[in-house]
Amino acid sequence: MRYSAIALAFLLLGCGTGTSSLPTITPGAPSATGSPLPDLQPRLDAIGVLLTECAARLRGEPVAPADNCAHVMPDVTGVIDEVEKQSAKLPPAGQAAVTDVRRQLAEIAPCEPWFAAGGVSPDGQLDARCKKAWDALYSGYSAVRNSA
């Protein structure tokens, strides 16, 4: 299932989605020493693309059960598990970012129905809380990606 999400992410990247004002998760400036986790770069990039594509879905359009966006949290968790196993290779900021993403994944878990509904609900407080959790997860994942 993870590989299908990665394949979709590459497909979406190749096809493009037109002009978008959404931020994207992209690699930071290359370091002189290279990536501390070169073996994980393809997965980190693919999940970053998937998160970027899923962010566009949070505009009120329900997420179909077969849509990979409905399964993005397990994909993020899987790649963060792999990064965490090798986190000693990351700079301190990257290690802190991994910890932050773990916390953010726990915070967004109650928002699964909100996410499946396209990022809207009749409860304004739930909308605000879940949007904040999504934004934090997106930002945290970007920090992990850029440090790796």
In contact, 25 and 54? CB cutoff 8 Å: no
Instruction: Please write the tens of the pLDDT for every residue from 34-67.
Output: 789 999 999 999 888 888 877 766 666 666 655 6
Residue range 2-36, pLDDT digits in tens: 444 344 333 333 333 333 344 555 554 444 457 89
Whether residue 14 is contained in a domain is answered as no
Dihedral of CA atoms 80, 83, 87, 89 in degrees, nearest 10, equals -150
* Residue 31 domain-assigned (yes or no): no
pLDDT in tens, 64-81: 655 667 678 888 999 999
Tokens of 104: 């953010």
Residue 61's domain comprises 2-9+38-147
Q: 44: domain CATH number?
A: 1.20.120
Q: Angle at which helices 41-57 and 72-85 pack, to 10 degrees?
A: 150
Whether 29 is in a domain gets the answer: no
